[in-house]
Amino acid sequence: MITTIGPGGELIGNTASSFNSVSLDPPLILWSLGEQAHSLKAYMSADHFAVNVLRKGQEHLSNQFATARSSKWQAIDYELGQTGCPILPTSLAVFECKVANTYRGGDHVIFLGEVVKFDFDPQGTPLLFYRGQYHDIA
């Protein structure tokens, strides 16, 4: 799940199907968002974003933030991270990033972020989504 703070302090969050490591030195990651997404303007104007890696059992969060509704954050426990982005303290891992660049890629915008803080829980299993379904690691 990708999160940021929008204009006026609005909490922004979207389920992303993936993110990728780009570089170790400096530590860079990327993710993309469709140009039709309601939250695109907020991400484009943000200086930072956070990647919250969900864990097995958090399917409800993945589903809730995959929608376009405005009440995504209702009853969600979050904290503001070092970068000011909302982070989910129950996430398996959190990458807090400074936006390094954005690129147009077809009908998506690719966000390149420099990792400024990373935290993880060594216990737990990541939430996996493949071919339209959640899966367990076999």
pLDDT tens across the length of the chain (138 residues): 999 999 899 999 999 988 999 999 999 999 999 999 999 999 999 999 999 999 999 999 999 999 887 789 988 999 999 999 999 999 999 999 999 999 999 999 999 999 999 999 999 999 999 888 889 886
Tell me the CA distances in angstroms from 81 to 93, 99, 125, one per residue in order.
13, 15, 22
Predicted local confidence at residue 28, as pLDDT = 98
How open is the CA angle 43-44-45, to the nearest 5 degrees?
90
Please state the pTM of the whole predicted model: 0.93
Supply the DSSP symbol for 57.
Answer: T
pLDDT, residue 67, reads 86
Q: What is the pLDDT of residue 71?
A: 81
Domains and CATH numbers, the chain: 2-135 (2.30.110.10)
Residue 108 pLDDT: 96
